[in-house]
Amino acid sequence: MKAQRIKSGSSVVRVFQSRSGKYVRFELRWTDHHGRLRRLKRSQRAAALTEARRIAADLARGHHHSELSLADLASFRAGILNLYGTGKTLELATAEYAETRRILLFSLSAGGEGRGEVVPSLKDLAQHWLATRPTAAALSTSISSLVETFLLQLKTRGLSARHQEDLRARLRKYALYNPHATHQHTAASVQAWTLGLAVAPRTRNNYLVAVQTLFADAAFAHHPHAPAIRLIKPNVLGQVRKAIWTPAEMIKLLTNAARFDPPLVPLLALGGFAKLRASEAAALRAEDLRLDDAQAILQDGKTGGRIIPLPANCVAWLRAYAPKDGRIWTMGIDAMGSHLRKLARRCELTWRPNALRKSAQLYDTLLDADYRRVSREAGTSQKMMRRHYVDPTLATKADAETWFGILPAAAPERVIVPLSL
């Protein structure tokens, strides 16, 4: 028998009659909204035609026919059983799963990854989250205890002694002024603290790097804000053209230091005449000064150990004021900065960070334009020295000769301050 077409709009349902022995059956065939061929059987012609009209009308109105195949029905039942006890409906669970897969696939494709890589399952993600999530005990630990634990491990990490001392001073200061629980330390709070420091911009960046080094430690692997803290960008440093000392200013600094704060004299001489960084000069010990050979042996500087030639006037100042044993500077980096700023105010000047070292490199280059030698002695590159340290327009060769001719008085006068009872 030829198929009978039941039409509604553009939707068509065909009704076929078939015979099996003495039994007659009527089969409905149509294509659903997913493009799948669907079949349905009825034993009566009238029932078949009624069902065909209903299906055609539903298709024309855009309604999906709810008839499930046996495989669909089995999958639906299995999904309901799998979700038992989770409190999730089947549609919500499938929506969350689909969204998670889209996020993973998009992230891998956006980063240029994912080729041949197996996308993790929700089970894998859940297990990873449980293994890496921060515990309440870890988040409530004080920052001071974690800082001290971190500092105890510095020796085993191959860091130089100077680097260890620098981290120790900066991180203890950070912990002192930020005593709240670990989980309260955020990128915003770290940035606000560093910006609020009354120090030079470069020093502010050094504090930021120290805190970022702390939060890069394994102890903070589960800290929710550690990644954001490590991504804080340092402050942009402006170029300050007037960043050297004149010979007259250097005489003021050395003279006042000799009278009122003698331990500063070796630091001024080593920085201003021998081109040492303040931290390198402070790290020297008396036995590192070979004054008869006009040399200083830097065991552990920013650029590693090196031999520092000492100009004649530097040797003279060190003979008069350097300690005979122990450290050249016995107080910390912060105390050094405080003493130097106080000394500059006494001289009616404003302290210029790193100006001693810049002055030494500039004046030495004016006397002998051997950039390779000067940069090697200063522990820097020729490119850095030309860009940041040496500006020949700031001084003359006569200034340089005066600079390296600054010598201590034969009998330096010191002020004795009686102890108050």
For the chain, what are the domain ranges? Answer: 4-66, 138-230, 247-403
Query: Each residue's pLDDT tens digit in the chain (421 positions)?
Result: 578 889 888 889 999 988 888 888 899 998 887 778 888 888 888 999 999 998 888 888 876 555 566 677 788 888 888 888 888 888 888 888 888 888 877 776 665 555 556 777 878 877 776 666 555 555 567 788 888 888 888 877 777 777 888 888 899 999 888 888 777 888 899 999 998 888 878 888 999 999 999 988 877 877 888 889 999 988 776 554 457 899 999 999 999 999 999 999 999 999 999 999 888 888 899 999 999 999 999 876 555 568 899 999 999 999 999 999 999 998 877 788 889 999 999 999 988 888 999 999 999 999 998 989 988 888 888 888 877 777 788 889 999 999 999 999 854 444 444 444 3
Which pLDDT belongs to residue 417? Answer: 45
What's the pLDDT score for residue 49? 92
The C-alpha atoms of residue 408 and residue 412 are separated, in whole angstroms, by 7
Phi, psi of 23 (to 5 degrees): -95, 140
Gap between the Cα atoms of 371 and 191, Å rounded: 38
Q: Which residues 6+ apart lie within 8 Å of 269 measured at CB? A: 254, 313, 314, 317, 318, 321
What does the radius of gyration of the chain's CA atoms come to, in whole angstroms? 40
Which tokens hold the place of 262? 């003698």
pLDDT at residue 300 in the model = 63
The pLDDT assigned to 34 comes to: 74
**Backbone dihedral angles phi then psi of residue 350, each to the nearest 5 degrees:** -110, 130
CATH architecture of 247-403: Orthogonal Bundle (1.10)
Distance separating alpha carbons of residues 329 and 282, to the nearest angstrom: 5
User: In whole angstroms, what is the distance from residue 338 CA to residue 225 CA?
Assistant: 33
Residue 390 · residue 362 · CB < 8 Å: yes
- DSSP letter (8 states) at residue 18: E
* Nearest in space to 371 (alpha carbons), one of 355, 390, 356: 390
Residue carrying the six token digits 């002695």 = 377
Q: What is the CATH number of domain 138-230?
A: 1.10.150
